[in-house]
A and B are shown apart, each in its own frame.
Chain A
Amino acid sequence: MSLLDRRLLVTAGKGGVGRSTISAALAVAAAGRGKRVLVCEVNTKEQIAGLLGAPDTGGAIGRVADGVDAVVVRPDEAMREYGLMKLRFRVVYDAVFENPFVSRFLQFIPSLPELVMLGKVLFHVREGRWDLVILDAPATGHGITFLGVPQALLDTIPPGAMRAEAEWMRDLLRDPDATAVNLVCIPEELPVNETLELAAAVRERLGMSLGHAYLNRFVAPRFTAAERETFRAPAGDAILEAAFRAATAQSIRAEMSARHRLRLEDELAAPVTPLPLLHPAGAFDRACIDELARHVVPT
């Protein structure tokens, strides 16, 4: 089945490799195919709106591009929503949440903040207001903990309110027709190692399906071996020598890109999709996202 026909796509990967960029590009690609899309960021500085060239939404659900909404899920707000749902009576709710210590205290209950934040995201998947929800997951270690919360709770806690929540959430995450995890990586040793570990954790620990592995900032080869040989010789011209040094650096990055791509393909058993390194003259903007959106779902 096609990637964009899932109802929930999780974007996971190490910090600084471009997770949000790729979440934004996937959202644009899906919206371009007529889907109604919601991108969820988890307890972080709002990024999706900016990447799509829209004003910040302030964290609430807001329109950030044609067919694309975005929201930042925060623990205190998610907890409030969960509290209202469970406690039903406003007066009890107020007694709990007006207590200045309580919202801080609730953050310390193991897994409760993660559970309510993940619950809010999955609620949006279920409610049918959007065709596709993209979850821009926290960076590697935290991301796995985050997605593993429902199962961790089922393993440890007795029947009760939290357990019932955990059950439907776990099932939705594990349904291969509904949910896939996309991995984001860049062609460098550490990120590739981490991606391989992440892939194993997604499959074995979480029991979830992998979608694509995106190899971001991929550099394609541009010079032949014979040409590269001539770059070594002194050219006797400052500009030409600068060009040769630039071309040599480009070739080394292309070689690294190819090597790391091969390693991912060998060890991952999931489609590896390269996304080109872009060179905008100004800021990294909406035009860059649109360019990447053309690559995220290979035809």
Chain B
Amino acid sequence: MTRRSPPLDLERALRDRRVIVCVGAGGVGKTTVAATLALRAAAEGRRAMVLTIDPARRLANALGLERLGNVETEVDLARLRGAGVEPQGRLFATMLDLQRSWDDFIARHVLPGQREALLRNRFYQTLSSALAGSQEYIATERLYEVHSRGDYDLLVLDTPPTSHALDFLDAPRRILDFLDQGSFRAVTGPALAAGRLGLKLMTLGGSVVGKALSRLTGTETLEELTAFMLEIQGTYGVFKDRAAKVKALFASDDAAFVLVTSAHGANVDETIFFHERLAAERIPVAGVVANRVHPDFLEGAPVPDSAALAAALAAAGLDDPGQPPLSERLVQTLAEARAIADADRRSLERLASATRPTPLHRVPRFDSDLYDLPGLWELSRHLFQRG
């Protein structure tokens, strides 16, 4: 099969793909974009679900999400119609409960007798909550599971808020490193080989490294770690297998990534970097969404001086009240807006040329926070008019 398909874009991704992953730094509006994409797909006839992590309360309410705990909820048709959407398909939403997802994962893959001790182990708690990448890992794990069930035409994943989008791709490797027996055996020496019964400080003491480490951490910590490694040993293969499957899914024609950013320089740098990384891993990118772009009210015309503005006010039959006069304050406001719009334009030009030919969607900054269905629908109109 050598047929070249037309280049991927957001519209095609919403129509053809089964999984869309939204990634970006925290605070750039990722959740809103994810919800908007699912809404649009539902409007156009697909059975779409958005998997979100921690939506704003009002967005959760707008979607009818009142509970945590991985419950899949259909967004009420009346709500959608109330927002002016006449959906051809159906919209679902679920809030990912990351701790619960970890516990479910363990319940599926660890023998009942070993489960309780494992869930109580502090290393498990670190793995499931604090270890860098664990949230990202379990979010993809959960995505994969829902995807395998095949109940929906399209899943849109809102990834956890990380300071670096790259954390998302690196998560599986970190988890596998954590569980890798090789590094562990080097530290504790014969303890692991001795098995559960031999699990005593005596065996730990057999390794010079183990001895030195216990000076740093205390011996109980090391013993607990050894116990953890024994309990979770059986799941390493599962993790590895799952990580490989998720990777294959992401690189397949079933999936597409959408990069979400603001026009802020640091976010743009990171998005460019992430785009390169996705290309290197042959992961399809359907679009880059630049959110909250400051508009240039003058559309490129020069900022007038206050005399010109005072004249325009007079010509319109308006007063020029206040101190400083209205005309001066208006000019100051235009100049400030121009400075911000210029900064945004410069960084987005840089973004566009670095991510070509991936389509770049510029979404203007709205006058208020967008957390309701009409707001999402408004956002979708901006997303699907190419800019």
Chain A residues with CB under 8 Å of chain B are 14-17, 44, 82-83, 86-87, 92-93, 95-96, 99-102, 104-106, 108-110, 112, 138-139, 145, 156-158, 160-163, 188-191, 193, 222-224, 226-227, 230, 235-240, 242-250, 252-253, 256, 279-281, 283-284
Question: Is A188's CB under 8 angstroms from B315's CB?
Answer: no
Contacts of B367 on A, CB cut-off 8 Å? Answer: 248-249, 252-253
**Nearest CB of B to A8, in Å:** 23
Main secondary structure of the interface of A (DSSP, over half): helix
**Nearest CB of B to A264, in Å:** 16
Query: Which parts of B328-387 form the interface with A (CB within 8 Å)?
Result: 329-337, 339-340, 342-343, 367-369, 371
B187 at the interface (CB under 8 A from A): yes
Known contacts A104-B183, A227-B321; A189 and B218 CB within 8 A of each other: no
A-B contact pairs, 17 of them (CB 8 A): A14-B27, A95-B209, A99-B186, A108-B178, A139-B26, A158-B220, A189-B58, A190-B56, A239-B298, A240-B309, A242-B301, A243-B331, A256-B368, A279-B335, A279-B339, A279-B340, A281-B339
Question: Is B312's CB under 8 angstroms from A235's CB?
Answer: yes
Contacts of A106 on B, CB cut-off 8 Å? Answer: 213, 216
Measured between alpha carbons, how far is A284 from B295 in the docked complex, in Å? 19
Measured between alpha carbons, how far is A161 from B215 in the docked complex, in Å? 7
Measured between alpha carbons, how far is A224 from B26 in the docked complex, in Å? 35
**Nearest CB of B to A86, in Å:** 6
Measured between alpha carbons, how far is A226 from B329 in the docked complex, in Å? 15
Question: Is A246's CB under 8 angstroms from B163's CB?
Answer: no
Interface string of B294-329 (1 = CB under 8 A from A): 010111010010001100110110100110001001
Question: Is B209's CB under 8 angstroms from A96's CB?
Answer: yes
Question: Is B336's CB under 8 angstroms from A279's CB?
Answer: yes
Q: Give the residue of B25, B221, B369 whose beta carbon is less than 8 angstroms from that of A109.
A: B221
Q: Give the residue of A16, A189, A226 whose beta carbon is less than 8 angstroms from that of B369.
A: A189
Contacts of A99 on B, CB cut-off 8 Å? Answer: 186-187, 209
Question: Is B339's CB under 8 angstroms from A110's CB?
Answer: no
Measured between alpha carbons, how far is A224 from B326 in the docked complex, in Å? 10
Contacts of A247 on B, CB cut-off 8 Å? Answer: 329-330, 333
Measured between alpha carbons, how far is A243 from B329 in the docked complex, in Å? 10
Contacts of A223 on B, CB cut-off 8 Å? Answer: 326, 329
Q: Give the residue of B161, B177, B339 whose beta carbon is less than 8 angstroms from that of A280.
A: B339
Question: Is B26's CB under 8 angstroms from A109's CB?
Answer: no
**Nearest CB of B to A106, in Å:** 8
Measured between alpha carbons, how far is A15 from B27 in the docked complex, in Å? 7
**Nearest CB of A to B311, in Å:** 10
Measured between alpha carbons, how far is A257 from B179 in the docked complex, in Å? 47
Measured between alpha carbons, how far is A218 from B270 in the docked complex, in Å? 26
Question: Is B216's CB under 8 angstroms from A236's CB?
Answer: no
Which of A101, A238, A243 has the most CB atoms of chain B within a 10 A radius of its CB? A243
B245 at the interface (CB under 8 A from A): no
**Nearest CB of A to B293, in Å:** 13
In the complex, the chain A residue whose C-beta lies closest to that of B267 is A16
Question: Is B27's CB under 8 angstroms from A17's CB?
Answer: yes
Tell me which of B85-93, B124-132, B146-154 binds A: B124-132
In the complex, the chain A residue whose C-beta lies closest to that of B211 is A92
Measured between alpha carbons, how far is A129 from B318 in the docked complex, in Å? 62
B122 at the interface (CB under 8 A from A): yes
B105 at the interface (CB under 8 A from A): no
Categorize the interface residue count of chain B. 35 or more
Contacts of B236 on A, CB cut-off 8 Å? Answer: none
Q: Give the residue of B225, B298, B326 whose beta carbon is less than 8 angstroms from that of A227.
A: B326
Known contacts A162-B218, A189-B56, A246-B334; A156 and B122 CB within 8 A of each other: yes
Contacts of A245 on B, CB cut-off 8 Å? Answer: 297
Contacts of A249 on B, CB cut-off 8 Å? Answer: 295, 297, 337, 367
Q: Give the residue of B209, B316, B321, B335 whose beta carbon is less than 8 angstroms from that of A236.
A: B316
Question: Is A222's CB under 8 angstroms from B329's CB?
Answer: yes
In the complex, the chain B residue whose C-beta lies closest to that of A156 is B122
Query: Which parts of B54-99 form the interface with A (CB within 8 Å)?
Result: 56-58
B117 at the interface (CB under 8 A from A): no
Contacts of B298 on A, CB cut-off 8 Å? Answer: 239, 242
Question: Is A95's CB under 8 angstroms from B208's CB?
Answer: yes
Q: Which 7 A-B pairs have the closest CB atoms?
A: A16-B27, A160-B218, A15-B26, A101-B183, A279-B336, A242-B297, A243-B330
In the complex, the chain A residue whose C-beta lies closest to that of B319 is A230
Contacts of B333 on A, CB cut-off 8 Å? Answer: 222, 243, 246-247, 250
**Nearest CB of B to A24, in Å:** 14
B212 at the interface (CB under 8 A from A): yes
Known contacts A101-B183, A243-B330, A249-B367; A83 and B216 CB within 8 A of each other: yes
B264 at the interface (CB under 8 A from A): yes
Contacts of B368 on A, CB cut-off 8 Å? Answer: 252, 256
Measured between alpha carbons, how far is A95 from B184 in the docked complex, in Å? 16
Question: Is A16's CB under 8 angstroms from B297's CB?
Answer: no
In the complex, the chain B residue whose C-beta lies closest to that of A247 is B333
Which of B184, B217, B225 has the most CB atoms of chain A within a 10 A radius of its CB? B217
Contacts of B331 on A, CB cut-off 8 Å? Answer: 243
Measured between alpha carbons, how far is A238 from B297 in the docked complex, in Å? 10
**Nearest CB of B to A169, in Å:** 16
Question: Is B330's CB under 8 angstroms from A246's CB?
Answer: yes
In the complex, the chain B residue whose C-beta lies closest to that of A252 is B367
Question: Is B183's CB under 8 angstroms from A15's CB?
Answer: no
Measured between alpha carbons, how far is A17 from B332 in the docked complex, in Å? 25
Question: Is B183's CB under 8 angstroms from A87's CB?
Answer: no
B112 at the interface (CB under 8 A from A): no
Measured between alpha carbons, how far is A104 from B132 in the docked complex, in Å? 13
Question: Is A95's CB under 8 angstroms from B212's CB?
Answer: yes
